[in-house]
Amino acid sequence: MFADLLNRLTGAAPQPDAQADYRLSLAALLVRLAKIDDVYAASEIASIDATLADRYGLTPSGAAALRLEGEALEAEVGDTVRLTKAIKDGVPYQERSAIIEALWRVVLADNERDHAENAFLRLAAKLLGVNDVDSGLARQRAMSPGTANGGV
């Protein structure tokens, strides 16, 4: 299953279900970000699950299942470019800005920001084609106390 997705992401196979590809790619991207500081905290996992549930209308168990698939894909995919390509190709710009907001929520979930997370966010925004202004606005929305976790 993951080999098929990797082939589609690299253009080696047709893309029969782009929506499934970018959902799984987003799950893997969220997981990669959560693990970038070598601490995969329960609060980050909860943030990922909330994001996936809110974004795709999933039940908590459905979101957890998608996250688990994302964890497996994240472990297999060597480079972040492949993950962001499916998202960029399948998601309109405004939604990509919301994805940056979701990424910020994962960073902020454990109440600790570090240099690796900040650098990853800058890279992800660039690869997703989200400009600096919209990325900054996404961060502000994620930091706003009145916004729901994962409300993308």
99-119 pLDDT, tens digit each: 999 999 999 998 888 899 999
The answer to whether the CB of 54 falls within 8 A of the CB of 148 is yes
Cα–Cα distance, 62 to 39 (Å, whole number): 24
| Structural domains of the chain ordered from first start | 2-143 (1.10.3680.10)
Predicted confidence (pLDDT) per residue in 84-95, tens digit: 998 998 889 989
- Give the pLDDT confidence score for residue 105 in this predicted structure: 93
Q: What is the pLDDT confidence band of residue 126, given thresholds at 50, 70 and 90?
A: very high
Question: What pLDDT does residue 134 have?
Answer: 95
User: Under 8 Å CB-to-CB from 11, ≥6 apart: which residues?
Assistant: none
- Cβ-based neighbours of 113, under 8 Å, separated by 6 or more: 107
Mean pLDDT score across all residues of the chain? 85
Per the model's pLDDT, the better-predicted residue between 50 and 21 turns out to be 50
User: What pLDDT sits at residue 9?
Assistant: 54
Residue 150 has pLDDT above 60, yes or no: no
Separation of alpha carbons 102 and 129, rounded Å: 16
